[in-house]
Amino acid sequence: MSLNGIAASAISALKTNSAALGVVANNVSNLNTEGYARRIVNQQTLVAGGQLMGVSIASVQRVASQFLTQEMLSAGGGASQYDTMAELFSQLNGLLGGPGDNQSLATGLTNLSAAFATASQAPTSSASRTGVMNALTNLADSFSSVSSTITSLRTQIDQQVANSIGGTNTLIKQIFDLNTQIRTASAAGDTASGLLDQRDVALESLSQVMGIRATTNGDGSVNVSTTDGVNLVSNTYAKLAYNAGAQNGSYGSITIQDVNPQTGQLIGGPSALDPHLSGGALKGLIDMRDHVLSDLGQTLGNLAQQTALAFNDQANANAAYPPPTTLTGRNTGLLAADGLNFTGSTTIAVTSATGQLVSRIDVDFTAGTLSVNGGASAAIGSDIGSFAAALNTALGGNGSASFANGKLNISATGSNGILIQDDAGAPSARGGEGFSQFFGLNDIFQSQMPSILSTGLSGTDASGLAAGGVISLSLKGPDGDIARSASITTTAGQTIGDVVTALNTALGGAATVTLNADGSISTSNSALYSDYSLNVTTDSTQRGATGMSFSQLFGLGVNAQTLQASGFSLTSAVSANPARVGFAAPAITPSSVVGSTIVSAGDNAGAIALQNAITRSQSFNAAGGIAGQAASLSDYAATFYQNLATQSNTVTANQVTQDDRRAEAQSRLTSHSGVNLDEELMALSSYQQSYAAGARLLTVVDQLFQTLLDI
């Protein structure tokens, strides 16, 4: 080899090792840079005309593993999902407390039981009444507070979902733009572009939002999709959209649509993203909003409904002392023209302020008659309005009765009071509820939804709905997809049966609405949609002047159960007068005549019965993932908190598992792709020595040239 050849080889060594030292310098300087993958230098023999001419850099390679990267993305999505859920559970547990906390439902029931026990020992004591009133108020406030907490947290989560959409769209577009730049760099021979690191950071950030799958193409770009294949980035990119807010407690879906990158225009129609979410913060947020909190709300509503039914039923069977002068019932949603549809018998008595019988009106609903003080029978008519008119006539100068806007009102004259007692052998019933209970004349609790959903209406009863009202429903799946949307518009002259038929026609067999014999409505889904829920998204109907919509009257849709706890409170009559809570039992017998004592001050039978209502077995329907069961109010309250604790513990366990998986994936990826200072120092030393050797060769060549020149 000539001296020129030796010089050329030495110069190639200087250039190659200088460049290699630059790669090492970049590795060391990016030791703590997020997403940076180390680069290694691949050298090759420099050949010219078949002769060795030194060394050159074949490539600078970015050290990456598609498998480890995908595992990191997958693990990051799972960890982010459960981190999000665990944080929300921590917030929820802090707000709701536990069974032993002073403001919990279980504690409220325990305190109420103790208050009734004290009242049974001293039923005339004002302190006893105050204690019961405080306990009732605290229990009602607990229901309302827990319901409000769940609703507020769902609203908060929904807003988080909405807020995340803009950032997610930015990440998707960023990955698409980086793909374009990487293709250009790759075509120019740059396989270690820093753009790759930026894209990996963006991919990891996107995986924190939703579960994704990334596949590398030959040109250096990546295709990104959800784990089940819905496109996010390819030759197009996706755009997400979401309208925040609930429609009657039902939330919409996040939609996804491809964008034409050349025009920026959307391609095709939007589709729901929710069913395709398999991880990430979005999945955690939606699972908490639509499953965990929705189920808790339904379970709470189930407990609230049964609590109202149990206490109201007993309160309507009890007697207050002194008897109240006026009984104003709840809004039943019924119209005066609705059929009476009661069977059995009841007695409506006017009493003196000290509990003596002034007048008794015995009503035989089965026979359709009433009699005053054992006198001749008089017809009561076949509808609610005619009954109220007959009762008003029967009361005469002792009182009055009226029915308007869905409410029955019975009043006594002067200081006299009203007392109601069902017949022991053939008690009155409409839709399975007694006369006083059905009309809510002595109710203790109330909420936004009527606790009694057995309306006693039949298919032939007039709907009472004005023309033009709209009822819209959606059948929503557990993963957020809407299988069916249905809407009907009411027309004049429809019966209840007509409305039910219209709903079933609109649902097209996906779900079925059934009017039961007791006047309640039940729904069932087809086998294809067995785990879907029927939601009422809009209901602008109103039954007569009652202000009650069709879906509210019948408790239609899953959110109706949740609303049983919303606004749970004492009735205005009880709030205004603690003496309205009956601690006594009415004592009307067939032989009771004017002047007979039918309620006494020292009677504690009603207080004992109200206390027993807490531990008496109730029939709970399936709600919120908890199976239907017979349980006491106390036991079901414990189940509510136990269910919350179980779900919280499950999420915490999953969080630990997924966080460990992410840590392991991160460790393996770092070990493979990360910068190792020891390795870099070894490479630095090697390249430095090679550079020095190349420089030494040039020195020798220079000396030889000088020698030749001196000859």
Please write the tens of the pLDDT for every residue from 155-178. 999 999 999 999 999 999 999 999
Question: Does residue 676 surpass a pLDDT of 90?
Answer: no
80: left (phi > 0), else alpha (psi -120 to 50), else beta? Answer: alpha
Least confident of 32-41, 429-438, 485-494, 594-603: 32-41
Can you name the residues that pair with 326 across neighbouring β-strands? 411
Residue 23 CA from chain centroid, whole number: 53
In this prediction, residue 231 carries a pLDDT of 96
Mean pLDDT for the stretch of residues 427-436? 97
pLDDT band at 287 (very low <50, low <70, confident <90, very high): very high
Query: Nearest Cα to 37, choosing from 232, 213, 191?
Result: 191
Query: Nearest Cα to 117, choosing from 637, 587, 575, 609?
Result: 609
pLDDT band at 297 (very low <50, low <70, confident <90, very high): very high
Rounded to an integer, what distance in angstroms lies between the CA atom of residue 636 and that of residue 638?
Answer: 5
pLDDT band at 679 (very low <50, low <70, confident <90, very high): confident
Question: Does residue 359 surpass a pLDDT of 60?
Answer: yes
pLDDT band at 55 (very low <50, low <70, confident <90, very high): confident
In this prediction, residue 100 carries a pLDDT of 64
CB-count exposure of residue 202 (10 Å: 0-12, 13-18, 19+): buried
Strands 222-226 and 231-233: antiparallel
In eight-state DSSP terms, residue 627 is: P
Question: Does residue 93 surpass a pLDDT of 70?
Answer: yes
Rounded to an integer, what distance in angstroms lies between the CA atom of residue 30 and that of residue 10?
Answer: 30
Judged by DSSP in three states, 25 sits in helix
Tens-place pLDDT, residues 542-556: 999 999 999 999 999
User: Are 499 and 488 spatial neighbours (Cβ–Cβ below 8 Å)?
Assistant: yes
Mean residue pLDDT across the chain: 92
Judged by DSSP in three states, 557 sits in coil
Does 23 or 180 have the greater pLDDT score?
A: 180
In this prediction, residue 34 carries a pLDDT of 81
User: Are 295 and 370 spatial neighbours (Cβ–Cβ below 8 Å)?
Assistant: no
User: Are 501 and 532 spatial neighbours (Cβ–Cβ below 8 Å)?
Assistant: no
In this prediction, residue 705 carries a pLDDT of 81
Mean pLDDT for the stretch of residues 269-285? 94
Question: Does residue 376 surpass a pLDDT of 70?
Answer: yes
Rounded to an integer, what distance in angstroms lies between the CA atom of residue 678 and that of residue 12?
Answer: 27
In this prediction, residue 40 carries a pLDDT of 83
Question: Does residue 242 surpass a pLDDT of 60?
Answer: yes
Q: Please provide the distance, in angstroms rounded to a whole number, between the alpha carbons at the two ends of the chain.
A: 21
Least confident of 13-27, 145-159, 222-236: 13-27
Angle (deg, nearest 10), helices 633-673 and 105-121: 160
DSSP string, 43-85: EEEEEETTEEEEEEEEEEEE---HHHHHHHHHHHHHHHHHHHH
pLDDT band at 340 (very low <50, low <70, confident <90, very high): very high
Q: H helices of 434-579, where? A: 435-439, 496-507, 550-554, 559-562, 572-576
Tens-place pLDDT, residues 491-527: 999 999 999 999 999 999 999 999 999 999 999 999 9
CB-count exposure of residue 201 (10 Å: 0-12, 13-18, 19+): middle
Residue 3 CA from chain centroid, whole number: 82
In eight-state DSSP terms, residue 585 is: -
Mean pLDDT for the stretch of residues 432-453? 97
In this prediction, residue 407 carries a pLDDT of 97
Find all residues with CB under 8 Å of 37, minimum gap 6, and list them: 62, 63, 64, 196, 197, 200, 673, 674
In this prediction, residue 688 carries a pLDDT of 87
In this prediction, residue 99 carries a pLDDT of 65
Task: Name the one residue in this structure whose structure tokens are 């549809």.
Answer: 341
Query: Nearest Cα to 230, choosing from 281, 275, 265?
Result: 275
Question: Does residue 1 surpass a pLDDT of 60?
Answer: no
In this prediction, residue 197 carries a pLDDT of 87
User: Are 282 and 254 spatial neighbours (Cβ–Cβ below 8 Å)?
Assistant: yes
Mean pLDDT for the stretch of residues 667-694? 83
Give the max Cα distance, the chain.
Answer: 155
Q: Which tokens belong to 617?
A: 């077995």
CB-count exposure of residue 474 (10 Å: 0-12, 13-18, 19+): buried
Give the Cβ contact number of residue 98 at 10 Å: 13
In this prediction, residue 16 carries a pLDDT of 83
Question: Does residue 692 surpass a pLDDT of 70?
Answer: yes
In this prediction, residue 465 carries a pLDDT of 96
The answer to whether the Cα torsion of 661, 667, 668, 670 is positive or negative is positive
Question: Does residue 102 surpass a pLDDT of 70?
Answer: no
Angle at the Cα of 685 from the Cα atoms of 683 and 691, rounded to 5 degrees: 100
In this prediction, residue 418 carries a pLDDT of 98
Rounded to an integer, what distance in angstroms lies between the CA atom of residue 145 and that of residue 129?
Answer: 24
For residue 329, the one-letter residue type is G
CB-count exposure of residue 533 (10 Å: 0-12, 13-18, 19+): buried
Q: What is the pTM of this model?
A: 0.90
